[in-house]
């Protein structure tokens, strides 16, 4: 299941979804902002301001050279990370054919195609065929599958590498802020299983951060 509401934070108004003040000032260029606006207008699920800013903060600190992203959409987060990191290479996986084709056009248009390995396919299958050695993994595909992917992603991640899993507190359902609709209970159960697995894993140090729709940030020891 994907996000149901693709609206982003309007930082010009300084408002977060919760109505609290947002202090985020995204440092991206006009071309990238236009691409994001076009995604929001078409209700394509790309990272909101808070999440994208935190993602860029994290990769700026970690300085990964080899990045894996599950859930390319039209390439916004991938391009933003590659723009921040001129030495980095990105492998990114998308199962929607239209998004995959558009992402490839966007990678070319932003001059990062030669540093990108865009793969069309199901993330669960693709990760089993990858060699590993990643310094950073951005997990942003179907949320209910995260827990299934975790053992393989841990294996693909270098020691000291970072696993950034987005949307783990979706709509406030997961941490009890908002009552879970009956038909979403199974979905929430899978995310809670991911949180339990990531926080109790002896090889990972994991924090759950209430940014955007919630991020689980794990470092492999
Ligand atoms: C939240 S969007 C990704 C947004 C993107 N990372 C960004 O911020 O610009 C999630 C994407 O994951 C894709 N997706 C969902 N399940 C998938 C799967 N099993 N394998 C590959 N892609 C998947 C969806 O088609 C969607 O484009």
Residue 122 lies in a domain: yes
Residue 2 lies in a domain: no
Q: Packing angle between helix 76-84 and helix 30-41, nearest 10 degrees?
A: 160
Residue 73 beta carbon below 6 angstroms from any ligand 1 atom = yes
Residues 201 and 153 sit within 8 Å (Cβ to Cβ): no
DSSP letters along 135-196, please?
EEEEE-S-GGGHHHHHHHHHHHEEEEEEEEEE-TTGGGTTTTSSPPPGGGHHHHHHHHHHHH
Residue 28 lies in a domain: no
Residue 6 lies in a domain: no
Residue 194 lies in a domain: yes
Residue 120 lies in a domain: yes
* Interval between CA 142 and ligand 1 midpoint (Å): 7
* Interval between CA 102 and ligand 1 midpoint (Å): 13
Q: Give the pLDDT means over successive 10-residue stretches in the chain (221 positions).
A: 39 47 90 97 96 98 98 98 98 98 98 98 98 98 97 98 95 86 91 97 97 96 97
Residue 38 beta carbon below 6 angstroms from any ligand 1 atom = no
What residues make up the domain containing 86?
Answer: 61-220
The predicted structure's pLDDT at residue 130: 98
* pTM over the 0.95 mark: no
Domain CATH for 122: 3.40.50.150
Residue 84 lies in a domain: yes
Residue 91 lies in a domain: yes
The predicted structure's pLDDT at residue 92: 98
User: Domain total for the chain?
Assistant: 1
């Amino acid at each position: 299941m994907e996000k149901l509401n693709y609206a982003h934070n309007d930082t010009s108004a300084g408002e977060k979804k919760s109505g609290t003040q947002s202090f985020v000032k995204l440092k991206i260029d006009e071309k990238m902002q236009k691409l994001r606006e076009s995604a929001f207008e078409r209700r394509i699920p790309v990272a909101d301001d808070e999440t994208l800013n935190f993602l860029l903060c994290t990769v700026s600190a970690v300085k990964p050279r080899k990045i894996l992203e599950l859930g390319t959409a039209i390439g916004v987060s991938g391009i933003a990370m590659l723009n921040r990191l001129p030495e980095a290479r990105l492998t990114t996986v998308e199962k929607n054919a239209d998004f995959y084709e558009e992402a490839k056009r966007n990678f070319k248009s932003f001059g990062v195609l030669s540093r990108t390995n865009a793969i069309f396919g199901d993330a669960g299958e693709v990760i089993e065929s990858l060699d590993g050695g990643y310094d950073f993994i951005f997990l942003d595909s179907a949320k209910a599958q995260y827990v299934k992917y975790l053992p393989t992603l841990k294996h693909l991640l270098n020691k000291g590498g970072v696993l950034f899993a987005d949307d783990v507190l979706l709509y406030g359902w997961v941490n009890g802020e908002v009552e879970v609709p009956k038909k979403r209970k199974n979905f929430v159960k899978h995310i809670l299983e991911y949180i339990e697995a990531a926080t109790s894993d002896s090889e990972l140090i994991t924090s759950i951060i209430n940014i955007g729709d919630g991020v689980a940030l794990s470092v492999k020891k």
